[in-house]
């Protein structure tokens, strides 16, 4: 699977890094079996034997700024992901109130999260 990493130190106390990675997630056997699961009469689950594997691209960035002389630190992190063929459940309810669930592949699934942390000494 393709991946890459870039890391640069501006000084001993200042750095930035960027990571790129890819991963896959296979459909489970329960999702692929063509036999429907009718064990719950109000929630019928159908399988989909032609599900494709998920393929995820991820980019992480990290910035560290440290001032050891004043005991101050700044940390910033982001994580961005894009998934092709994400496996999700498609639910529908018929006129009798029976829910039918089946796994399907969808595109356009994105995830973005970040974290910012600043620390300094507390004075009492």
pTM of the model: 0.79
CB 96 within 8 A of CB 75: no
CB atoms within 10 A of CB 28: 12
Longest dimension (CA), the chain: 70
103 compared with 35, residue with greater pLDDT: 103
Q: Quick: pLDDT tens for 71-101.
A: 999 999 999 999 999 999 999 998 988 898 8
Half-sphere exposure of 86 (CA within 13 A, CB side): 14
Residue 74: half-sphere exposure toward Cβ, Cα within 13 Å: 6
Closest CA to 115 of 59, 61, 66, 57: 61
Q: In the chain, pLDDT over 70 holds for what percent of residues? A: 100
Q: How far apart are CA 38 and CA 48, in angstroms?
A: 15
- Cβ neighbours of residue 122 closer than 8 Å, sequence gap 6 or more: none
pLDDT at 4: 98
């Amino acid at each position: 699977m393709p991946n890459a990493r870039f890391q640069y130190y501006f000084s001993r106390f200042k750095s930035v890094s960027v990571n790129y990675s890819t991963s896959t997630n296979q459909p489970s056997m329960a999702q692929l079996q063509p036999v429907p699961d009718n064990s719950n009469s109000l929630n019928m689950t159908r399988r989909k034997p032609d599900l494709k594997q998920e393929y995820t691209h991820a980019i992480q960035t990290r910035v560290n700024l440290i001032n050891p002389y004043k005991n101050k630190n700044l940390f910033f992190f982001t994580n961005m992901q894009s998934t092709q063929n994400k496996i999700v459940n498609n639910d529908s309810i018929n006129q009798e109130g029976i829910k039918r669930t089946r796994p399907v592949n969808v595109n356009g699934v994105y995830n973005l999260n970040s974290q910012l942390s600043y620390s300094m000494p507390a004075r009492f």
